[in-house]
Amino acid sequence: MKKIGFIISVLIVLGIFSLFFYFYQINYPLAKEGDEVSFVIESGQSPQKIAEALEDQEIIKSSFWLRCYLKTNDLASKIIAGTFSLSPKMSISQIARKITSENILSVEKQIKITEGQNNKQIADYLDECTVCVSAYFLNLVKSNDFDFEFLDSRPHGFDLEGFLFPDTYQIYEDADCENIIYKMLDNFDQKLDKQMRQDIEDQDKTIWEIITMASIIEKEAPIDYINNEYADAKIISGIFWDRIKNKQALQSCATLAYILGENKDQYSVEDTQIDSSYNTYRHLGLPPGPITNPGILAIKAAIYPTYTDYNYFLSDPKTGDTIWSKTFEEHKQNKWKYLN
């Protein structure tokens, strides 16, 4: 009997210890210090993959305990897709509540930043959504308060144009302008992966140059982000990089639209003579900086161009199709045919 009593006592002690250990694991964060990061959960992503990603990004210590907490509290099926601000200072229980529908009431709204919007358009949109005052947002994007390595290629005096990554973001009640900008920059940091950065370096280009080119491509090329189609964008990229190599002006209408603040099917000779450093009809090479915030396909097109025998192109205003030309004479004929 004494032996049975001893075994029972040991089991009770082990049970209490296990319970204590479980509560310690789920209620104590990985670290006392740590910045917030944007963590993206894709639709349909499994709890195991989410937990492993959180561990890999050093937001939690162990994916095992998060999975245990989600299962024991019947939360695994309540995980919601979106972008979340998480920190290693948060406990597993806090993180679990934040990424599940248990926290859905704290979601204020979703915002969608569209590919090709410039900073002013984003600021006006956020103002309309009553998320952030336009003037304050524009003042923040001119600051140097955001510490990301990819911004090191940005010349002195330029704002964050080009780096506010277009995407759908979930904004919580405690979100402010700084938080929204940080989410966009952190998203850019994740989307521009190591291989892409290495390929940019191998081409003797900078991230700034690539994003500047991508911003032009975004406005010049038909890009289908839903179906992941951007073949024309890669050809246009090849044409533009060839023009730079051959010391030929880019002659991008997108840069004229940026200067004038107006899109036209065809710009006048007077338009092409506008006195601006962004006028790629008058100045060789890339403009001083990005003219908009490009999406990932435009960025990929800038990094991985398709080189062809084409030297000119235009967009058919009726169909949106890209019309290619090898010679300037052929291009003039196409302009007469499609634009007049």
Q: Is 13 exposed, middle or buried (0-12, 13-18, 19+ CB in 10 A)?
A: exposed
> 320 pLDDT exceeds 90?
no
Residues 329 and 256 occupy one common structural domain: yes
Return the percentage of the chain with pLDDT > 70, whole number. 88
User: What is residue 6's predicted lDDT score, i.e. its pLDDT?
Assistant: 52
Higher local confidence (pLDDT), 296 or 61: 296
Does 204 lie in the same domain as 266?
A: yes
Binned at pLDDT 50, 70 and 90, residue 103 comes out as: low
Burial class (CB in 10 A: 0-12, 13-18, 19+), 8: exposed
For the segment 169-196, the average pLDDT, to the nearest whole number, is 85
Banded model confidence at residue 105, pLDDT cuts 50, 70, 90: very low
The verdict on 235 and 144 lying in the same domain is no
33 lies in a domain?
A: yes
Whether the CB-CB separation of 302 and 213 falls below 8 Å is answered with yes
In a domain, 70, yes or no: yes
Whether 186 and 199 map to the same domain: the answer is: no
Q: In this predicted structure, what is the pLDDT of residue 245?
A: 95
106 belongs to a structural domain: no
- pLDDT per residue as tens digits for the range 110-144: 889 999 999 999 999 998 887 888 888 999 898 87
Q: Has residue 152 got a pLDDT over 70?
A: yes
For 9-66, the pLDDT digits (tens) are: 555 655 555 555 666 677 767 676 667 788 888 877 888 999 899 999 888 888 888 8
pLDDT confidence of residue 270: 84
227's CB contacts (< 8 A; 6+ apart) are none
In a domain, 105, yes or no: no
Token pair 């090849």 is found at: 238
Average pLDDT, the chain: 85
Based on the structure, what is the number of domains in the chain?
3
CA dihedral of 188, 191, 194, 196, whole degrees rounded to 10: -100
Tell me the average pLDDT across 256-268. 82
Residue 173 CA, chain-centre distance (Å), reads: 22
Instruction: Based on the fold, state whether residues 187 and 198 are members of the same structural domain.
Output: no
Confidence band, pLDDT 50/70/90 cuts, at residue 104: very low
13/134 Cα distance (integer angstroms): 60
Give the residue-averaged pLDDT of 293-309: 96
Residue 37 sits in a domain whose CATH number is: 3.30.1490.480
Q: Which of 293, 260, 298 is nearest to 279 (CA)?
A: 260
pLDDT in tens, 52-91: 999 998 888 888 888 888 888 888 888 888 888 888 888 8
User: Rounded to whole angstroms, what are the CA distances from 128 to 16, 67, 82, 131, 180?
Assistant: 54, 39, 22, 8, 15
- Predicted pLDDT of residue 203: 96
Please, which residues have CB within 8 angstroms of residue 94's CB and are 6 or more apart in sequence? Answer: 29
Given this model, what pLDDT does residue 326 score?
92
Residue ending a domain, choose from 191, 220, 247: 191
Q: What percent of the chain is predicted at pLDDT more than 90?
A: 41
Q: Are residues 216 and 319 in the same domain?
A: yes
Which has the minimum average pLDDT: 72-76, 280-284, 285-289? Answer: 72-76
Amino acid at the residue 292? T
Q: Are residues 88 and 206 in the same domain?
A: no
Given 140, 162, 191, which residue is the final one in a domain? Answer: 191
- pLDDT category of residue 339 using cuts at 50, 70 and 90: confident
* 21 domain residue, yes or no: no
pTM, to two decimals: 0.68
Same domain, 88 and 132: no
Tell me, yes or no, whether 253 and 327 share the same domain: yes
Q: With CA atoms as reference, report the closest residue to 212 among 115, 305, 302.
A: 302
pLDDT at 272: 81
Residue 108 — pLDDT band, cuts 50, 70, 90?
Answer: low
What residues make up the domain containing 157?
Answer: 112-191
pLDDT of 133 reads: 86
Average pLDDT over residues 172-177: 69
Give the sign of the dihedral formed by CA 266, CA 269, CA 275, CA 278. Answer: positive
Is it the case that residue 331 has pLDDT exceeding 90? Answer: no
Q: Which residues pair with 229 in a beta bridge?
A: 224
